[in-house]
Structure 1
Amino acid sequence: MDIMLGKTLFLLVCFILSCFFIISTTRSRRRKPLTAAATPPGPPRLPIIGNINLVGKNPHRSFANLSKTYGPVMSLKLGCLNTVVITSPEAAREVLRTHDEVLSNRGSNNSINSINHQERSLVWLPSSSPRWRLLRKLSATLLFSPKRLEATKDLRMKKVKDLISFMSKSSEREEPVDISHAAFTTTLNIMSNILFSVDLGSFDPLKESNGFQDTVIGVMEAVGDPDAANYFPFMRFFDLQGNSKKMKDNMERLFRVFRGFIDAKIAEKALRNNPKDVTDGDGDFLDALLHLTEGDEAELNTNDIEHFLSDLFTAGTDTSSSTVEWAMAELLSNPKTMAKAQAEMDYVLGQNGIVQESDIPQLPYLQAVVKETFRLHPPAPLLVPRKAESDVEVLGYMIRKDTQVLVNVWAIGRDPSVWENPTRFEPERFLGKETDVRGRDYELTPFGAGRRICPGLPLAVKIVPLMLASLLYSFDWKLPNGVASEDLDMDETFGLTLHKTNPLHAVPVKKRH
């Protein structure tokens, strides 16, 4: 259904059925306060819909603008959903650290509930759940531990070499490259080899496998797009924005792929009766998960595995590849900055011919470029929504139980009271400073913090700088068709993650080392 038509129908239905909400709204207003602490300030609310009219197609930007008036702890009423938006490092610290336990659970939305993902997902399960602790433990020990990251280092290098080989062929033909597709293919193949021991992506845009990128982006958009059913639960039946259908269709495509691998692994184990154990260095992540489905006290079933893999698969591919694309877009828009990054690599690496992961710590300016990209273009601009398990006070304001809490890391990254020249791409601001993205510095938390910090952070902070450094060290870059750097399109599309609306195309020019 067309988005504008869906929105129109949504507003119409809201007002037609408004009588059903008048009584409940009146009761809510008569409720006596439970504490002397004030509720957070916020904009005036319209009858029934509250502040839905202020959300817009880019909520992170709308909320950032509103916070300039109403402050860093801002209250919104989105239909039936009470929401508080956090837009300062101090408030973020309170949410992500001080009151992490109370604010660490999720308020799953309609698209998630439409496939019962909230019952099996590492992202959406309550942090108090034994299943959540199991999934968190599995991802930490079998995927992202220092031991496992070291064991998969050669794999990452091989896939980045494949990327450079593809770029070299495009350079010889002087062809523009879709940076979004190339970066996604690389991260996809890194993840698919870790999970399944196969390449799922191809640099050939005509290959059928390349539908994965659209599928993953479709999932992120279905989860993150504003949805009438999230604001008025009785409207779930209508699916006005089509998010539930979009979620079901895209997740089913992923599940079909996963079921294929699961069935093949089970058949293979039955034939040889000698299951591999990834903890001993053999097999892949799926081998280890299937081992947990065996016996009378199995900890997982194949349905659990499908949902778990979908979390790892979508988050592990989408965020890293989009960050590389944004970094390249910013560097192409700022040629002097790109030249500085390349000069550093030429000086440090000399004639080595290839970037190794071990080289990255010796490249402080490149690391600053990555941090600056995360500041301006955090993968999840509002992080994943949290929900208050009980009343809690943040910077003197009372956040009521069951309130949705959004941390607007996009706004924090552009706050002029925190950053000088906040809208400019200036990696120099990080040189000589210890500010990092690992959840300790609340002015820069693109991966979140606390117990809900992104479990894939250790892998992401290896993949992103390695890919970016390899592209900059091996090639010079120019925009196609005479596009000037200052005219480069930087429009963005909002979902759970933030994407460049129009994929970046650039021409690689082979460098001589």
Structure 2
Amino acid sequence: MAALLLLLLLLPAVFLLHHLYHRLRFRLPPGPRPLPIVGNLYDVKPVRFRCFADWAQSYGPIISVWFGSTLNVIVSNTELAKEVLKEKDQQLADRHRSRSAAKFSRDGQDLIWADYGPHYVKVRKVCTLELFSPKRLEALRPIREDEVTAMVESIYHDCTAPENAGKSLLVKKYLGAVAFNNITRLAFGKRFVNSEGIIDKQGLEFKAIVANGLKLVHPLAMAEHIPWLRWMFPLDEDAFAKHGARRDQLTREIMEEHTRAREESGGAKQHFFDALLTLKDKYDLSEDTIIGLLWDMITAGMDTTAISVEWAMAELIKNPRVQQKAQEELDRVIGYERVMTELDFSNLPYLQCVAKEALRLHPPTPLMLPHRSNSNVKIGGYDIPKGSNVHVNVWAVARDPAVWKNPSEFRPERFLEEDVDMKGHDFRLLPFGAGRRVCPGAQLGINLVASMIGHLLHHFNWAPPSGVSTNEMDMGENPGLVTYMRTPLEAVPTPRLPSDLYKRIAVDL
């Protein structure tokens, strides 16, 4: 007991000395005053990107925030984002790995959690040149279009059912189904859901693994920031080992299925699993890396697409002028006798602007995964010590009134007036990041978001639930790494095309 009391007395002193050392040795960015041991953790509001944007109004566009004893630097304007992601990119290209992230990624054997180095360069090359190449994305286009038309068919079936006449539907339900089926088919070449919407045994196991991973991470959150508390929240090595074994077993089952199918057919298919098996020897990929890459794609692509489209539809319902203008373009280009495909994108500039504006106002990951400094570096004239975490507040950058006119207004026309790249070349708009750690699947995400929005608008008119005005719609965010709507979107769809255009045309690749 005496030893514990002594430890509790010493911890604040140790923290203060640690903090004082950094303040005396380095010229750190300004920020709220940290408390002993916990730093600023109790000051940070649940929706962190909004909290950091508010602090930037008081302290400036670069701020210091202490999560326990770890320094986190948040930048909130275009110039500083460019400095972090381009000019000082090499010094800031490492990745902070929590204990759980280290376990899930086999200590960085994947892409997302790998530090910058030979392994990262090799794996990124595989993604850029092989997995997300224009040729492969085009080959997989029928899968994406199949799943989007399946969504349309499902919405049409539900909204035209007599018992649902005039009733609102939960939009997230349909978007989530597209995201789930699309990513499993692109990654594994499997649709775990049959035509009646029933998930098979492997699909249930897949969902259970994803849910269990989230369950393992949650209790560790506070202890990740305060190392002295880790004895109170130890890592459950057995639980993580069982989770990893379960994930690997499912992945290997599918791997064996693909190996047999490839032997029988004499060739590989285009989806990512078969591609990785084919490329294994060429790039010297370990099994851990293959499994890690596949699950990176799943975790990165499962929710973000559905989140982006839900926000876009919410904005389109709140702004009927924009909805009508996008539909007029679709009617003019596509007409009423066929459905849209991704090949139509080049003739639908306003639709592309709608997708871009939705991603500007509601980036799915408003705070990029933190970049970790591998050496002492200066940003904005301030010192960033080695080992610090640096975050780009993408949400704040995209709403900076110094860069954007009427930044909170949903106005897709701004991108007709000025073309702004959103794949990492223009630092005003960064939904997919930039620099060495830019998302390699950006084009895939853009295509799917635009396709889903286009089909939803071409096939249906959308209105808020009966008795709800557009001003009453809740446009707040849930706390978390990704920006789920605080209140899931409910809306009333009304079909606007001939009934024969609502049927899914299944494909098998």
TM-score interval, normalised by the smaller of the two chains: 0.7 to 0.9
CA RMSD in angstroms, aligned pairs only:
3.2
The question of whether the paired residues in 1 share the 8 Å contact of 2:186 and 2:272 is answered with yes
- Selected match of 1:232 from 226, 229, 246: 226
Measured against aligned partners, the alpha-carbon deviations of 1:9-47 in whole angstroms (never above 9, x if no partner) come to xxxx99973513513532552468667xx3211111222
Structure 2 counterpart of 1:265: 258
Deviation (angstroms), 1:166: 1.6
Measured against aligned partners, the alpha-carbon deviations of 1:351-387 in whole angstroms (never above 9, x if no partner) come to 3431121222222222221111111111111111101
Structure 2 counterpart of 1:480: 465
Structure 1 counterpart of 2:176: 184
Deviation (angstroms), 1:349: 2.2
- Flag the 1:494–1:212 CA change in 2: closer, same or farther, 3 A: farther
Structure 2 counterpart of 1:365: 350
State how far apart, in whole Å, the 2-side matches of 1:65 and 1:15 are.
Answer: 38
Deviation (angstroms), 1:195: 2.1
Structure 2 counterpart of 1:72: 61
Matched, 1:113 2:129: no
Structure 2 counterpart of 1:496: 481
Structure 2 counterpart of 1:6: none
Structure 2 counterpart of 1:139: 127
State how far apart, in whole Å, the 1-side matches of 2:415 and 2:217 are.
Answer: 33
Structure 2 counterpart of 1:9: none
Secondary structure of the 1:75 match is strand
Return the letter of the residue paired with 1:44: R
State how far apart, in whole Å, the 1-side matches of 2:237 and 2:310 are.
Answer: 28
Aligned length: 489
Secondary structure of the 1:508 match is strand
The question of whether the paired residues in 2 share the 8 Å contact of 1:224 and 1:495 is answered with no
Measured against aligned partners, the alpha-carbon deviations of 1:455-511 in whole angstroms (never above 9, x if no partner) come to 110101111101100110111123334322221222322322211233222232110
Return the letter of the residue paired with 1:299: D
Return the letter of the residue paired with 2:467: G
- Selected match of 1:162 from 150, 153, 160: 150
Q: Which runs of 5+ in 1 are unaligned?
A: 1-12
- Selected match of 1:193 from 185, 191, 194: 185
Secondary structure of the 2:413 match is helix
Once the two structures are superposed, the pairs formed by residues 436-451 of structure 1 within 5 Å of their partners are 436-451=421-436
Once the two structures are superposed, the pairs formed by residues 69-468 of structure 1 within 5 Å of their partners are 69-128=58-117, 130-173=118-161, 174=165, 176-201=168-193, 207=199, 209=203, 227-239=221-233, 255-266=248-259, 268=261, 272=264, 276-277=267-268, 282=269, 284-292=271-279, 299-468=284-453
Return the letter of the residue paired with 1:264: E
Return the letter of the residue paired with 2:104: I
- Flag the 1:49–1:31 CA change in 2: closer, same or farther, 3 A: closer
Return the letter of the residue paired with 2:131: L
Q: After alignment, is 456-465 or 361-370 more displaced?
A: 361-370
State how far apart, in whole Å, the 2-side matches of 1:42 and 1:251 are.
Answer: 39
Q: After alignment, is 198-207 or 255-264 more displaced?
A: 198-207
State how far apart, in whole Å, the 1-side matches of 2:236 and 2:489 are.
Answer: 26
Return the letter of the residue paired with 1:152: L
Secondary structure of the 1:482 match is coil
Return the letter of the residue paired with 1:79: G
Q: After alignment, is 453-462 or 480-489 more displaced?
A: 480-489
Q: After alignment, is 182-191 or 145-154 more displaced?
A: 182-191
The question of whether the paired residues in 2 share the 8 Å contact of 1:384 and 1:406 is answered with yes
Structure 2 counterpart of 1:47: 36
State how far apart, in whole Å, the 1-side matches of 2:85 and 2:72 are.
Answer: 16
State how far apart, in whole Å, the 2-side matches of 1:231 and 1:420 are.
Answer: 38
- Normalising by the residue count of structure 2, what TM-score does the alignment of the two structures yield? 0.86
Deviation (angstroms), 1:426: 2.0
The question of whether the paired residues in 1 share the 8 Å contact of 2:140 and 2:271 is answered with no
- Flag the 1:462–1:223 CA change in 2: closer, same or farther, 3 A: farther
State how far apart, in whole Å, the 2-side matches of 1:357 and 1:350 are.
Answer: 15
Secondary structure of the 1:229 match is helix
Return the letter of the residue paired with 2:340: V
Deviation (angstroms), 1:163: 1.7
Deviation (angstroms), 1:100: 0.7
Deviation (angstroms), 1:422: 2.3
Measured against aligned partners, the alpha-carbon deviations of 1:419-445 in whole angstroms (never above 9, x if no partner) come to 232222222222221112111121210
The question of whether the paired residues in 2 share the 8 Å contact of 1:108 and 1:124 is answered with yes
Measured against aligned partners, the alpha-carbon deviations of 1:170-224 in whole angstroms (never above 9, x if no partner) come to 2321464332221222133222222222213468777474786786588679779
- Flag the 1:501–1:223 CA change in 2: closer, same or farther, 3 A: farther
- Flag the 1:72–1:446 CA change in 2: closer, same or farther, 3 A: same
Secondary structure of the 1:495 match is coil
Percentage of identical aligned residues: 34
Return the letter of the residue paired with 1:155: I
The question of whether the paired residues in 1 share the 8 Å contact of 2:220 and 2:233 is answered with no
The question of whether the paired residues in 2 share the 8 Å contact of 1:110 and 1:244 is answered with no
State how far apart, in whole Å, the 2-side matches of 1:335 and 1:499 are.
Answer: 22
- Normalising by the residue count of structure 1, what TM-score does the alignment of the two structures yield? 0.85
Deviation (angstroms), 1:112: 0.7
Q: After alignment, is 377-386 or 183-192 more displaced?
A: 183-192
Deviation (angstroms), 1:390: 0.9
The question of whether the paired residues in 2 share the 8 Å contact of 1:185 and 1:202 is answered with no
The question of whether the paired residues in 2 share the 8 Å contact of 1:492 and 1:499 is answered with yes
Measured against aligned partners, the alpha-carbon deviations of 1:386-420 in whole angstroms (never above 9, x if no partner) come to 01111111121111111100100111222222223
Measured against aligned partners, the alpha-carbon deviations of 1:79-116 in whole angstroms (never above 9, x if no partner) come to 11011000000100000111111111111123212435
The question of whether the paired residues in 2 share the 8 Å contact of 1:39 and 1:397 is answered with yes
State how far apart, in whole Å, the 2-side matches of 1:230 and 1:511 are.
Answer: 51
State how far apart, in whole Å, the 2-side matches of 1:342 and 1:211 are.
Answer: 40
The question of whether the paired residues in 1 share the 8 Å contact of 2:192 and 2:199 is answered with no
Deviation (angstroms), 1:450: 0.6
